[in-house]
Structure 1
Amino acid sequence: MIDAISDQFARIAAVVFFVIGLIISFEVVARYVFLSPTSWAEEGARLLQLWATYLAMGYVLRVDGLIRITVLTGAIGPAGRRLLELLALVWILVFCCFAFWLGLEVVIESIQMGRATATMNQVPKFWTETAIPAGFFVLFLQTLAQIWRQIRTRPDDSDPAESAVDMTI
């Protein structure tokens, strides 16, 4: 279920990134060809970029797209890699809780204070700030799914190349 949600948000993010490209292209033409820049393109693209980036986080975790430092994991066996993977997922889970909570506090404060951007458009700040708790909530759910997969997978279900015994003499 959460995989489907992460996949759908990734598709939405891909479309949003395409739209950002269109917006920026429009702005370039408006500014340099017609000498009439817009007041909304840069701010709108930034808002959309925040949403697309945060909504895609769950998908990136699901497809193993996060940055990893493999110096240590290459030197230990499958059981050690599995343990490190679980520890990393638990750390992501804890971080998601903090980011969600703190992000939600910022959103609530922005709504209460009526904060807006310091631009001509006066876009409410919570429009961009809401992307943080939303994205980290999706990442939290995806992390739970990944932890569940790690726990459910038996050590002998791992990649055969990882569990192969070196038989050279």
Structure 2
Amino acid sequence: MTDELMTPDQPDELEKSSRLVFVLVTTERVVASLALLVTLVLVLLQVTSRYVFQAPLSWTEETARFTLVWLAFVSAGFVMARRGHISVDLLVDKLGLKSKRVVNGFAISVVLITSVVMTWAGVQLALATVGLKSPAAGISTSLLYLAVAVGFLLIFVHGVLNTVFDLRRRGKPKLKSTDGEIGEAA
């Protein structure tokens, strides 16, 4: 039994059941979309100033890089919320339901532990670089490392929320198959 394939515009079951989760995921989408738009505008401004006016702006490239880093980490949280991260499940697809749950439990444990460690490391790097500024734009480099902390914190939060939701859900959990379809676990 399969449901229709989810798109980024469609909230999943957890978002439908929790207004707070829906607001968090929507905020991530909006922030990531704005970061993408800002990156595009900055790159176009840099290209135009360099090749049309022969007077490149030094701060646009650096600011675009910072914005791109924020885009990547905020988007990682959104992708975790929608369970869209890439996974290799050649072996898992051949296992029974109990074995799949064990492997999935181990995998989410690794993700959660890694997320905690990376969040802590991002905070430590952000604090260590408080006084440093980027050379061209004069942006605090702490903002760059703060993106790492925020992104991994979002991954951790969504990992915990998804896990708790799956454990509380009655019946068989829905698992994605290799062809992208979502169906009942065997």
| Unmatched 5+ stretches in structure 2 | 1-19, 176-182
> 2:44 aligned with 1:44, yes or no?
no
| Unmatched 5+ stretches in structure 1 | 164-169
**Structure with greater strand percent:** 2
Structure-2-length-normalised TM-score: 0.78
- Tell me if structure 1 keeps the 8 A contact 2:62–2:136: no
Note closer, same or farther for the CA distance 1:38–1:7 as it changes in structure 2 (3 Å cut): same
What is the distance in 2 between the residues matched to 1:7 and 1:87? 29
Q: Which amino acid aligns with 1:137?
A: L
Note closer, same or farther for the CA distance 1:134–1:157 as it changes in structure 2 (3 Å cut): closer
Question: What's the C-alpha RMSD, in Å, of the aligned pairs?
Answer: 1.8
Count of aligned positions: 160
- Structure 1, 73-82 or 123-132: larger mean CA deviation: 73-82
| Percentage of matched positions with identical amino acids | 21
Q: How does 1:16-95 map to 2 (within 5 A)?
A: 16-95=35-114
- Structure 1, 50-59 or 78-87: larger mean CA deviation: 78-87
Q: Which amino acid aligns with 1:135?
A: G
1:40-79 C-alpha deviation (Å, 9 max, x unpaired) = 1111101111111111222101212111011111111233
Q: How does 1:94-109 map to 2 (within 5 A)?
A: 94-109=113-128
Offset, 1:24: 0.5
- Tell me if structure 1 keeps the 8 A contact 2:173–2:184: no
Which of 120, 124, 140 aligns to 2:140? It is 124
Structure-1-length-normalised TM-score: 0.85
